[in-house]
Amino acid sequence: MTQLPAIAEQLGPEMQVRLLDHISRALMARQNRWAKQLEADLKHAQPMTPHKLSQVLVNARSRLAAIAAVSRSPLLSADVQDEIRSALAKTAKSAQESLEHSVRINHAATNTLLGVVRQHSLLQGLSHQAIDAHLAQEARSPAPGIGRRVILPGH
């Protein structure tokens, strides 16, 4: 999001609406990809064990924190940031409830797996600590396309 201009009145109302619509669609697409990846990871982790489930949930939380980091952008108004956080909280809460329900219904080791689901709650991916960790990692990573270029001579 650092490549985008700040969403401010000087952009004009039409440009603000277009830019916010674009951001909204992009975030919805990321949320959908996150949900599909979580579903795929859960299927791949079968037969489910507490260790496999822990790994899936920790990875899902990390990916969720990456999406939630957008809500911290100073380029967005406070209202837009709040809307993003609210939408992500609904998504994470729904996924968490679905996981808990699925574990209760489908697994013999219900208490153990339910404990894992609750211990590694997806909502933790929206915490300030998780978002700060993601932003710190992002700051340490080189920007895409920046680095040394190696050109090998043809033979």
Domain count, the chain: 1
Q: What is the model's pLDDT at position 75?
A: 82
Write out pLDDT tens, residues 61-102: 999 999 999 989 888 888 889 999 999 999 999 999 999 998
Residue 122, token pair as written in the block: 């997806």
Token couple for 154: 């043809």
Look at residue 53 and tell me if it is in a domain: yes
Is residue 120 domain-resident? yes
pLDDT class of 145 with cuts at 50, 70, 90:
low
Q: Does residue 155 lie within any of the structural domains?
A: no
Residue range of the domain that includes 41 = 9-138
**Percentage above 90 pLDDT, the chain:** 48
* Residue 143 covered by a domain: no
Query: pTM for the complete prediction?
Result: 0.77
Confidence of residue 40 (pLDDT cuts 50, 70, 90): very high
Report if residue 58 sits inside a domain: yes
Determine the pLDDT at residue 155.
Answer: 46
Look-up of token digits 């899902």: 60
Residue 149 lies in a domain: no
Q: What is the mean pLDDT of the chain?
A: 84
CA distance linking residue 97 with residue 94, whole number of Å: 5
Asked if residue 144 is part of any domain, the answer here is: no
